[in-house]
Chain A
Amino acid sequence: MKPTRILGPLAVAGLLVAGGVLPMASHSSTHAARLSGPVKGGTMIDGLYEEPDRLIPNTSSMTYAVNVDTTLFSPLFYTDNKGVLFAGLAADIPTVANGQISKDLKTYTFKLRPGLLWSDGQPLDARDVDYSWKTWVNKDLIINTNVGLAQIKSTTVSADNLSITFHLSAPSISFVADWADQYFPMPAHILSSMTAKQLNTSKFTFQPTVDSGPFIIQSRKPGDNITEVPNPHYYQPGKPYLSKLIFRIIPDQVAITNALSAHEIDASWFLDVSQANTLEHISGYTYVPGLAPNVEQGLLNLKNPILQDVRVRQALEYGLNRQAMAADVWHGAIPLASDEMPSLFSFDPSIKPYPYDPVKAGQLLDAAGWKMGADGRRHKNGKTLSLRYSTTARNNWRAQDELIALTDYQQLGIDLRIINYPADTYFGSILPSGQYDIGEFENNAYYDPDISIYNAFASSQVPPHGGNWGWYINPTYDKLIAQEESTADQSQRKVIFSKMQQVMHDQLPSLWYYDPPNIYEYSNSLHNYMPGPYSGECWNTQDWYKS
């Protein structure tokens, strides 16, 4: 019952520049309104499902490692629990208006706050940023991602070391957001003496000794816990409030539930919905199906001739009781999906999900030439309507989805063969090589909807180039993508995204199920615990306190 860590909500965010419609408030004012009487001191114990692997920034793709990293390192920019962007270590957010982004979108200048210090008292400035990106593009270093970094041609660091200017090889609308919630600057004065290869196996990757986040590691017991204490040189004054933050590693979902039930841990994030029945009834704790930019979908393999007929695809959507999935698995607490992942910004509520209409589904199949036979199966030109349904193995709630699909499609006369795979095989080879017909998985959107849409449905992203595993090729759709990528005006982009969602809804390159939340639970004595959709659980550990 592993969560899809590889599709975790790492925020490779796309920020829209120039004339931001998005509220880009300054850091302190909005936050002050949220806090009410924080109490200093206190220990918070967080239940972590997997042990983090590498804690050097950007060297791990594990959701849980990034979580812990966020408590240890500060980002240049970050998003809050509503998905609003703020400046962190940076002095402000670059825009064309304030001159920090060139009009041709090829030159970006990041300014750092003056007087920043690493936890060992050494200065933190633009040189660390310069060192960091150069290290991350080094082929020898095992990294998580280099989105946005590959296009950097050169950089200039200012004389006072407080700003760094990036010269890109091509215009980019998302360079700032690429740095949001990730790409935490690394301490050059500690790490620059090591080669990239040495960094892969250094002790620092296991237990960073110098950092810039609200906490520093006091001790780490492998397989057991990571204990953190406040960073004396943290850049936000008076914070963090907690005097101890402990990540307790509990590699079993039932054990996490037990620890919450016995009040041994204060919170846990990214919980498995199979535990919901018990989790919802723990006294003194709050259960939250948290807002998340996720869509559960059944990707259709468009190389299968059966699925190339849009009527068949629509029949599959009409004939599937997705409401039952939402009710069964998620206790009805979530919305159905109508199209490709709605990010918080571009969601168009006027596009409605398909209703459950098995009669209409049957009619569509008839119209497509698939007639019901005496054996309870549909046939056309001597072929039986048979499809492979796949998803990740060892996942209780996906098994429930499959059961509903099996029942519904059997009634429609479709021979459904269920074949599940371990997650790594599924994403690593089955989906990219098209060995499925209906592939269920959860897709995550980023801050800018362009990133996930482009990756999933642009015709240039078919395997092996990208994530268009369904081989959806639609020149009209490609044109729309190009339009939204070249428009800086947010309201215009929203209109274009609406059109794209309509295409997704009508064309059904994938079956759209529902929007799964990221479930978390926390003790009522813990305050300001509010995991964000893009920034994960630990974006604001400096604000947490216990009463």
Chain B
Amino acid sequence: METMRERFIAAASELLDHDPRLAVVLADISADQFGQAAARHPGRVVNVGIREQLLIGVAGGLALAGLRPVAYTFPSFLIERPFEQVKLDLGHQDAGAVLVSSGASYDMSSMGRTHQAPGDVALLDTLGGWTIHVPGHPDEAEALLRHACAADGRVYLRLSGESNAAPHAVTPGAFTLVRRGQAGTVIAVGPMLQPVLDAVLDLDVTVLYAVTVRPFDAATLRRAVAASASTDVVLVEPYLAGTSNREVDEALLDVPHRVLGLGVGRAELRRYGTPADHAAAHGLDAASLRTRISAFLRAARSRPHRENRPRINTE
């Protein structure tokens, strides 16, 4: 199956042909794959070498000169290493850019911690004004890339080597209702949709699918919770566990609720192996998710908070 990274390179190369405002900035990663695009557009495919502070600085400068930069590398080197450049050369300058990473969380499991950045979304979330997309399929990645390139703001597109079996028709910024249930609401982010659907196959829960996590689609969540017998919410995110718990709490500020944030554990997992090994170790494989979600919802059944639950305004 084609990867999100391969689709990104193909789509970005094609976009360069049609949008003279677009420029791709690289730090050696995937520079060979952009070779043909660079030959066609030598001024708008910039490889700065292994210089990640410059990667973001150049993106900021390109934006200030009127272009729409797309800066790409692994998340460790895109968000973590040059974080001050992300904060100042883009945010403080009020400069728009599209940051694209591949190699999410434990995609590069055999490479160890140096090539893993499960805290990237949480880190970026300390800054204001970022749209964060987490597609779950190459088709979704391409749609979100095209949407981001056509806009002007600051966008982070987080690609993964893990994909759902089939794409969804996604609307940037909006959660998708996948199925309805009464025992709670599960929000599956990006490539976590497939394991979540496998995990809750026979559980009576609503499943929302999120490819945009910032801004957080509070309205759809409120509608889903209003239509359910339970106000319990489970977040399943393919990055640091609990990254979006605050968003759920703010969305349901006037509603007694519980939220369980599932994702990559905070402790460093000093193991190599495969992404599947790491998913299991973090409790994010379908079997582990089923156990954790079921236990959380079971615990709720002994708490009669439903009776005095206020009506949720979904306007």
A associates with B? no
